[in-house]
Amino acid sequence: MDLSTTYLGLRLPHPFMPGASPLVDDLDMVKRLEDAGAAAIVMHSLFEEQITAEQLGTIQNMELHEDSYAEALSYFPKADEYALGPQQYLEQLRRIKATVAVPVIASLNGVTPTGWLQYARLIEQAGADALELNVYSLATDPADTAAAVETRLLAIARAVKAAVHIPVAVKLSPFFSAMAHVAHALDAAGVDGLVIFNRFYQPDIDIDALEAMPTLRLSDSSELLLRLRWLAIFAGRVRASLAVTGGVHSFVDAIKAVMAGAHAVQMVSALLQNGPEELRTVREEMVRWMEEREYASLEQMQGSMSLERCPDPAAFERANYMRVLQSWRG
Ligand SMILES: Cc1cc2nc3c(=O)[nH]c(=O)nc-3n(C[C@H](O)[C@H](O)[C@H](O)COP(=O)(O)O)c2cc1C
């Protein structure tokens, strides 16, 4: 079965790869991922806050100018709580490159278009084949407009694109009021791929301790639906290639994502739960299903359920919405 696909201009034998996660901290695990057939290795993120802290001296030793700034800093993990500091991240990238033959995609994660982005070039120099850019932030300032949020995201993407020659993907949040505009603007800025979507980890509340508790809940397949919708809307309408992340737990999930238009399928929760070998299991089950239905290639299936030829996706979505509400009456 020909499962080959092109993601970020990289010709891959199939779309399955681990998404950004701590699995890459351990070289044995990286090897197991490659042995399970990972088409590429995506590293977890190096964070703007880590880089800025290193550039300014360690967080603990910093002179704190303002109370609000000091309080904001106290929210963040301390430097030694990150698995890898900025230099160690580059070193780990070099080690992974030396260990595996598949492409390695590094990840930068931050919110401002400032000096920390120079790490994009260092990551390229350390041998990354591509870079994923994750701008994970919540617009909580009432003075911050949707346009300003988009402008910042674009400025970061443009700065990274200008700094490196390797392909750049942007991992998007689903919380934009004009999602299609964001995708098209990134596309016009030359971004090579869109990774759909970031998961937001809403902290829970401990009602006795009166504390917000950051909780890590792994995903399940229900989270895929939001991704399928936007993949189907973007497919064929943006030049950038598309990766799905969030809620892929089975071969059925993967097939849906590919049919909606995904070129790459990233998995994290399923691998953390079942081990890296799950990548192979899901791929083999997909092949079996495709053979039974006489598909000859993945490309034959890719985008078959997208809304590329739908003249008015907004009307389609609204009609769907109304139909779903009516379905309750049976
Ligand atoms: C423990 C853990 C660590 C993660 N670290 C990162 C990270 O450093 N950067 C990033 O962009 N995403 C990170 N993610 C998000 C995943 O890459 C992925 O987008 C998310 O888990 C949804 O995919 P899933 O449903 O397959 O788990 C992390 C997820 C988990 C569970």
pLDDT digits (tens, 9 = 90+) for 116-132: 999 999 999 999 999 99
Centre of ligand 1 from the C-alpha of residue 295, in Å? 31
Q: What pLDDT shows up at residue 201?
A: 83
Residue 200's Cβ-side half-sphere holds a number of Cα atoms within 13 Å equal to: 12
Q: How many CB atoms lie within 10 A of CB 113?
A: 18
Pick from 147, 141, 139, 135: nearest CA to 191: 135
Pocket test for ligand 1, best of 41, 245, 272 (most atoms within 8 A of CB): 245
| Token couple for 62 | 């910093």
Give mean pLDDT, residues 281-288.
Answer: 98
CA–CA dist 281, 308 (Å, integer): 31
| Token couple for 153 | 């995201």
Arithmetic mean of pLDDT over the chain: 93
**47-88 pLDDT, tens digit each:** 999 999 888 875 444 444 455 666 666 777 777 777 789 999
Give mean pLDDT, residues 294-315.
Answer: 95
Pick from 282, 303, 328: nearest CA to 6: 303
Name residue 106's beta-bridge partners. 131
- Ligand 1 proximity of 267 Cβ (cutoff 6 Å): yes
Of all protein residues, the one whose alpha carbon is nearest to atom 1 of ligand 1 is 21
**79-120 pLDDT, tens digit each:** 777 778 999 999 999 999 999 999 999 999 999 988 899 999
End-to-end CA, the chain? 41
| 12, 33, 95, 248, 268 from 227: Cα distances, Å | 22, 24, 33, 10, 15
CA–CA dist 17, 97 (Å, integer): 15
Q: Which helix (H) or strand (E) holds 41?
A: strand 41-47
Centre of ligand 1 from the C-alpha of residue 246, in Å? 8
Pick from 288, 218, 291, 226: nearest CA to 256: 226
| pTM greater than 0.75 | yes
The number of residues in the chain equals 330
Centre of ligand 1 from the C-alpha of residue 136, in Å? 12
Of all protein residues, the one whose alpha carbon is nearest to atom 29 of ligand 1 is 21
Q: Is 297 helix (H, G, I), strand (E, B) or coil?
A: strand
- Ligand 1 proximity of 227 Cβ (cutoff 6 Å): no
CA torsion sign for 63, 67, 73, 74 is positive
Centre of ligand 1 from the C-alpha of residue 108, in Å? 13
Segment 320-325 long-range contacts (CB within 8 Å, at least 24 positions apart): none
Pick from 188, 150, 153, 190: nearest CA to 168: 190
DSSP string, 234-288: HTTT-SSEEEEES---SHHHHHHHHHHT-SEEEESHHHHHH-TTHHHHHHHHHHH
- Ligand 1 proximity of 107 Cβ (cutoff 6 Å): yes
Ligand 1 atom closest to the CA of 22, numbered from 1? 3
Q: How buried is residue 252: exposed, middle or buried, by Cβ count under 10 Å (0-12/13-18/19+)?
A: middle
